């Protein structure tokens, strides 16, 4: 458990193949490899026994430091019973150090990287003078002996053949440095690791080169002899720093790459300085410069008061730079906030924004995140007749409703309507309401009509419940509704940015669904209505099993739902909820999961993991985003993460340049075709499409014809 991950974690990855290759490479020196392997097994098993966080064991987080210690010990000592025992002791020691350091660092939101390994190795090194009798190994120095032991004369010849290539010295040092990570001091190990790294992640591979050569150039600039690196192999510090900063702790972007230009020289200086210091104690600095640079930078970046888009930490660490990038881009656009409480428009029917955020009249400074709403006719006029009286205004005396469930926290009534054009600067907010939706979310509604309140202070109100009617009180020259979100319960509190969950925007008779939307000036808006049939069809209950039959018809695939629970069907998906409260469909047969979110008005898939030929994958594509109200002719659009759609082959080149430019694009479209009956709908037809683009040229199109009836999702036909 967690064995291979413990290997791949060295490169912050969870790639199984990378793990296997690293495991193999570590056995170039058999005893070193064995030492590493034993240390991981002991450490992981101990962690499971003592019931430490099982997920971390699985991810290899408790294994990789022990692995490094195991490799380091393995190469240091001759195999013997005593050294075996020493290894076990050190492995468990490393685990304890890991856990302790994790406990301290986690408070600061910091990773512990290979600090435990360094501490344990130093301890072991310092103690070594007393451990001579175990037998210190001379391996790693007489490298050909090891090769010969491993693969005979042929292997030695093969190695010589590879070495005979005219490669620049720097590249050789690069390979040696890579190999040194696993205590394998030869180029072949480095080459295999490089290939494994390239296979597991194009970005990580690129970064390893970038890191190494930035440091190389800095050496040149300083006039330091770079070949010094070939002796100490300490160059891996630069490689790991580049991968960690450029692609792991931050979402890969041109900014994360640019930062390396500054951070690598820092690492170089650290390497020089620390080497001097530790050589006094006859200690190697191992990966200390890399650890210091990464911890320093990650910590410093956490202190930013505002996270700029340039350099962001991934929303969810997926242990692969590419996935971090694609997932982050997709999710941060679709779900900008993890802790969003849905709020809706505070009125019925269609209203128009007369002043948006940072508006020209009053939405300034601390009150800039507010909206004014009015009702307008087709020509954009707000009133009939001459507009001399409040009653001429279309919005006047229209009901105002709660934008979400909550408690009436504050209520002011008794301020008379102004005559048109006049303003009341003494009671500038007019008749107002503040509703508490959560501890940090309040909505304020102002300029209401005197005596129109239908609720009392302290009363619990439901979303959509009528509160009062629109008036013309306070600083309101003509009737309008002032609406804002704030963090405190007082009338006139400072506002903050908080968008509406979903709404329908009307533009030239076309309806557009907007999610997490901040209404802008002059936009015509209305709330989203839901459809019972759709609500039912997309209400999935944990434990529920969906069964779909696949019927193949030429190039078309028809998936039909089977309601018979006793039958065993090709595709069976169970609805589960993860410990992070995320629901997902799980297909046991293909070991695939499709994560989704349903906030009662919108069903959305968050991500898909697993087999891309499974029916569940097509299900994920077909229902990527479904609004649960039926609007004839409404089109919904969204973007899919590249890695969930394009083939591995297509992705390779994209991966290399992904931090700079995404030329592959995947678009999702959903059309609402027909409903048989508005009052008691029994059948709804939808059509979804997945369009793939390369450099804005359409390369592929998949469409799904969807039928939904009283039994839920009836079928979807893939073309």
Partner 1 sequence: MKLKYERPVINKINAGMPDKYGMKVQTKAITEIDGLKISNLIEKFGSPAYVLSQQTIENTFTEVKRAFTNRYPKVQFAWSYKTNYLDAVCRVFHSLGSWAEVVSGFEYRKALNNGVEGKHIIFNGPDKSKGDLILAIEKGSLIHIDHFDELYMIMELTEVLSQRPKVAIRVNMDTGIYPQWDRFGFNYENGEAWNALNRIMLSGKMELVGLHTHIGTYILTPNAYAVAAAKLTDLAVNINRKYNHKIKYIDMGGGFATKNTLKGAYLSGADTCPSFDTYADAITSAIVNSEISPEDLPTLILETGRALIDDAGYLIGTVLANKRLADGRRSTIIDIGVNMLFTSFWYEHEIYPAKETSVHTEDTTIYGPLCMNIDVVRAAIQFPLLQKGDQVVIKRIGAYNMTQWMQFITLRPNIVLIDTKGETHIIRTAETNDTFLQHEKIPDYLIKN
Contact 213, 170 (CB under 8 A): yes
> Which of 387, 399, 492, 712 lies at the binding interface for partner 1 (CB under 8 A)?
399
Q: Which residue has the tokens 């409703």?
A: 401
Binding status of residue 397 toward partner 1 by CB under 8 A? yes
Contact 40, 69 (CB under 8 A): no
Least Å distance, CB 682 to partner 1, is 10
Least Å distance, CB 457 to partner 1, is 20
> Which of 130, 439, 564, 678 lies at the binding interface for partner 1 (CB under 8 A)?
678
Only segment of 124-132, 166-174, 279-287, 676-684 that touches partner 1 (CB under 8 A): 676-684
**Is the CB of 171 or the CB of 348 nearer to partner 1?**
348
Site for partner 1 in 168-227 (CB under 8 A): none
3-class SS of residue 54 = helix
Least Å distance, CB 373 to partner 1, is 11
Question: Count of alpha carbons within 13 Å of 420, Cβ hemisphere only?
Answer: 12
**Is the CB of 379 or the CB of 564 nearer to partner 1?**
379
- Measured CA to CA, the distance from residue 404 to residue 337 in angstroms comes to 17
The angle formed by the CA atoms of residues 102, 104 and 110, to the nearest 5 degrees, is 65
Binding status of residue 673 toward partner 1 by CB under 8 A? no
**Is the CB of 530 or the CB of 707 nearer to partner 1?**
530
- Measured CA to CA, the distance from residue 7 to residue 23 in angstroms comes to 7
DSSP letter for 248, please. I
Whole-number Cα distances in Å, 505 to 68, 207, 345, 534, 562: 57, 44, 12, 21, 38
Least Å distance, CB 307 to partner 1, is 38
Binding status of residue 671 toward partner 1 by CB under 8 A? no
Only segment of 2-10, 14-22, 193-201, 462-470 that touches partner 1 (CB under 8 A): 462-470
Least Å distance, CB 375 to partner 1, is 6
**Is the CB of 15 or the CB of 443 nearer to partner 1?**
443
> Which of 113, 239, 375, 434 lies at the binding interface for partner 1 (CB under 8 A)?
375
Binding status of residue 500 toward partner 1 by CB under 8 A? no
Least Å distance, CB 676 to partner 1, is 7
Structure tokens at 460: 């619990």
Per-position x/- string for 624-663, each x denoting binding to partner 1 as judged by CB under 8 A, each - no binding = ----------------------------------------
Per-position x/- string for 376-395, each x denoting binding to partner 1 as judged by CB under 8 A, each - no binding = -xx-----x---------xx
Least Å distance, CB 574 to partner 1, is 30
Contact 243, 204 (CB under 8 A): yes
Q: Which residues of 411-425 are buried (b: 16+ CB within 10 A; e: fewer)?
A: bbbebebbebeeebe
Only segment of 32-40, 396-404, 487-495, 650-658 that touches partner 1 (CB under 8 A): 396-404
* Residue 711 phi, psi dihedral angles, 5° rounding: -90, 15
- Bridge partners (DSSP) listed for residue 497: none
CA dihedral 199, 203, 208, 209 (to 10 degrees): 100
Per-position x/- string for 120-149, each x denoting binding to partner 1 as judged by CB under 8 A, each - no binding = ------------------------------
**Is the CB of 183 or the CB of 347 nearer to partner 1?**
347
Binding status of residue 706 toward partner 1 by CB under 8 A? no
Least Å distance, CB 3 to partner 1, is 53
> Which of 123, 317, 368, 465 lies at the binding interface for partner 1 (CB under 8 A)?
465
Site for partner 1 in 523-582 (CB under 8 A): 527, 529
Least Å distance, CB 451 to partner 1, is 14
Question: Count of alpha carbons within 13 Å of 637, Cβ hemisphere only?
Answer: 5
Least Å distance, CB 502 to partner 1, is 15
Site for partner 1 in 511-530 (CB under 8 A): 527, 529
Alpha-carbon dihedral sign for residues 533, 539, 545, 549: positive
**Is the CB of 575 or the CB of 634 nearer to partner 1?**
634
Contact 363, 357 (CB under 8 A): yes
**Is the CB of 566 or the CB of 680 nearer to partner 1?**
680
> Which of 462, 567, 589, 698 lies at the binding interface for partner 1 (CB under 8 A)?
462
Which are the contacts of 86, defined by CB distance < 8 A and separation ≥ 6? Answer: 73, 77, 131, 134
Question: Count residues contacting partner 1 (CB under 8 A)?
Answer: 26
**Is the CB of 336 or the CB of 349 nearer to partner 1?**
349
Only segment of 239-247, 374-382, 634-642, 686-694 that touches partner 1 (CB under 8 A): 374-382
Only segment of 94-102, 215-223, 458-466, 539-547 that touches partner 1 (CB under 8 A): 458-466
Structure tokens at 719: 């073309």
**Is the CB of 318 or the CB of 398 nearer to partner 1?**
398
Binding status of residue 451 toward partner 1 by CB under 8 A? no
Binding status of residue 466 toward partner 1 by CB under 8 A? yes
For β-strands 697-709 and 683-694, DSSP reports them as: antiparallel
The angle formed by the CA atoms of residues 71, 77 and 83, to the nearest 5 degrees, is 90
Q: Which residues of 559-572 are buried (b: 16+ CB within 10 A; e: fewer)?
A: bbbeeeeeeebebb
Q: How far apart are the first and last CA of the chain?
A: 41
What one-character-per-residue DSSP string does 71-132 give? HHHHHHB---HHHHHHHHHHHHHHHHHHHHHHHHHHTTT---TTHHHHHHHHHHHHHHTT-G
Site for partner 1 in 431-450 (CB under 8 A): none
Q: Which residue has the tokens 């076990």?
A: 88
Binding status of residue 404 toward partner 1 by CB under 8 A? no
- Measured CA to CA, the distance from residue 551 to residue 430 in angstroms comes to 64
Only segment of 55-63, 371-379, 484-492, 514-522 that touches partner 1 (CB under 8 A): 371-379
Least Å distance, CB 398 to partner 1, is 5
What one-character-per-residue DSSP string does 421-480 give? T---STTTT-EEEEEEEETTEEEEEEEEPTT-----TT-EE-TT-EEEEB---SS-SS--
Contact 1, 48 (CB under 8 A): yes
Only segment of 26-34, 76-84, 113-121, 341-349 that touches partner 1 (CB under 8 A): 341-349
- Measured CA to CA, the distance from residue 500 to residue 115 in angstroms comes to 45
- Measured CA to CA, the distance from residue 141 to residue 198 in angstroms comes to 28
Which are the contacts of 595, defined by CB distance < 8 A and separation ≥ 6? Answer: 578, 582, 583, 584, 605, 606, 607, 608, 609
Residue 472's nearest CA partner among 386, 398, 410, 366 is 398
- Measured CA to CA, the distance from residue 540 to residue 681 in angstroms comes to 19
Site for partner 1 in 346-365 (CB under 8 A): 347-351
Per-position x/- string for 63-102, each x denoting binding to partner 1 as judged by CB under 8 A, each - no binding = ----------------------------------------
Least Å distance, CB 374 to partner 1, is 11
Structure tokens at 96: 């304890």
> Which positions touch partner 1 (CB under 8 A)?
347-351, 375, 377-378, 384, 394-395, 397-399, 462-466, 527, 529, 676-680
């Amino acid at each position: 458990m967690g064995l291979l991950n413990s290997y791949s974690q060295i490169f912050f990855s969870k790639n199984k193949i990378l793990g296997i290759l690293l495991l193999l490479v570590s056995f170039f020196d058999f005893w070193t490899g064995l030492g590493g392997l034993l240390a991981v097994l002991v450490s992981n098993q101990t962690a499971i026994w003592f019931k430490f966080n099982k997920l971390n064991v699985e991810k290899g987080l408790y294994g990789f430091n022990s692995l490094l210690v195991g490799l380091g010990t393995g190469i240091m000592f001759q195999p013997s019973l005593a050294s075996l025992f020493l290894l076990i002791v050190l492995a468990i020691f490393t685990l304890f150090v890991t856990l302790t350091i994790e406990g301290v660092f986690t408070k600061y939101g910091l990773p512990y990287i290979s600090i435990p390994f360094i501490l344990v190795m130093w301890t072991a090194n310092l103690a070594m003078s007393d451990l001579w009798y175990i037998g210190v190994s001379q391996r790693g120095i007489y490298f050909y002996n090891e090769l010969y032991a491993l693969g005979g004369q042929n292997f030695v010849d093969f190695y010589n053949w590879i070495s005979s290539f005219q490669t620049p010295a720097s590249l050789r040092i690069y390979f040696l440095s890579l190999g040194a990570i696993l205590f394998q001091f030869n180029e072949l190990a480095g080459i295999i690791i490089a290939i494994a790294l390239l296979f597991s992640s194009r970005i990580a591979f690129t970064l390893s080169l970038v890191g190494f050569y930035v440091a190389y150039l800095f050496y040149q600039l300083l006039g330091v002899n770079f070949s010094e690196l070939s002796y100490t192999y300490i160059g891996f510090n630069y490689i790991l720093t580049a991968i960690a900063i450029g692609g792991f702790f931050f979402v890969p972007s041109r900014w994360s790459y640019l930062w390396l230009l500054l951070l690598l020289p820092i690492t170089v200086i650290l390497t020089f300085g620390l080497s001097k210091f530790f050589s006094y104690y006859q200690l190697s600095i191992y990966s200390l410069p890399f650890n210091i640079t990464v911890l320093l930078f990650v910590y410093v970046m956490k202190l930013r008061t505002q996270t700029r888009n340039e350099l962001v930490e991934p929303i969810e660490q997926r242990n692969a730079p590419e996935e971090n990038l694609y997932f982050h881009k997709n999710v941060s656009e679709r779900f900008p906030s993890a802790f969003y409480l849905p709020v809706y428009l505070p009125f019925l029917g269609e209203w128009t924004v007369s002043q948006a955020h940072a508006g020209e009249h009053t939405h300034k400074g601390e009150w800039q995140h507010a909206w004014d709403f009015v009702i307008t006719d087709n020509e954009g006029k707000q009133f009939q007749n001459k507009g001399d009286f409040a009653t001429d205004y279309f919005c006047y005396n229209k009901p105002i409703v709660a934008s979400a469930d909550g408690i009436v926290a504050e209520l002011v009534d008794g301020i008379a309507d102004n005559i048109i054009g006049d303003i009341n600067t003494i009671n500038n907010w007019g008749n107002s309401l503040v509703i508490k939706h959560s501890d940090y979310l309040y909505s304020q509604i102002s300029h209401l009509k005197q005596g129109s309140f239908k609720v009392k202070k302290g009363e619990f109100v439901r979303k959509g419940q009528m509160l009062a009617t629109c008036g013309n009180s306070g600083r309101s020259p003509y009737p309008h509704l002032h609406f804002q979100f704030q963090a405190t319960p007082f009338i006139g509190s400072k506002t903050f940015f908080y968008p509406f969950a979903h709404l329908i925007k009307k533009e030239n008779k076309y309806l557009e669904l907007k999610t997490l939307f901040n209404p802008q000036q002059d936009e015509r808006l209305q709330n989203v209505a839901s459809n019972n049939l759709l609500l039912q069809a997309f209400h999935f209950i944990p434990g529920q099993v969906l069964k779909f039959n696949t019927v193949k018809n030429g190039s078309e695939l028809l998936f039909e739902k089977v309601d018979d629970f006793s039958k065993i069907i090709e595709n069976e998906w169970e609805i589960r909820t993860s410990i992070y409260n995320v629901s997902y469909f799980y297909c046991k047969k293909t070991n695939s999961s499709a994560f989704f979110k349903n906030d009662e008005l919108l069903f959305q898939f968050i991500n898909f993991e697993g087999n891309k030929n499974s029916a569940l994958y097509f299900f994920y594509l077909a229902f990527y985003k479904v609004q649960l109200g039926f609007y004839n002719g409404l089109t919904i659009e969204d973007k899919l993460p590249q890695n969930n759609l394009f083939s591995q082959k297509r992705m390779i080149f994209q991966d290399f340049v992904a931090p700079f430019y995404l030329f592959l694009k995947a678009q999702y479209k959903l059309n609402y075709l027909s409903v048989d009956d508005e009052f008691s709908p029994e059948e709804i037809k939808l059509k979804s499409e997945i369009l793939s683009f390369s450099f804005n040229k359409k390369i592929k199109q998949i469409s799904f014809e969807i039928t939904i009836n009283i039994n839920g999702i009836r079928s979807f036909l893939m073309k």
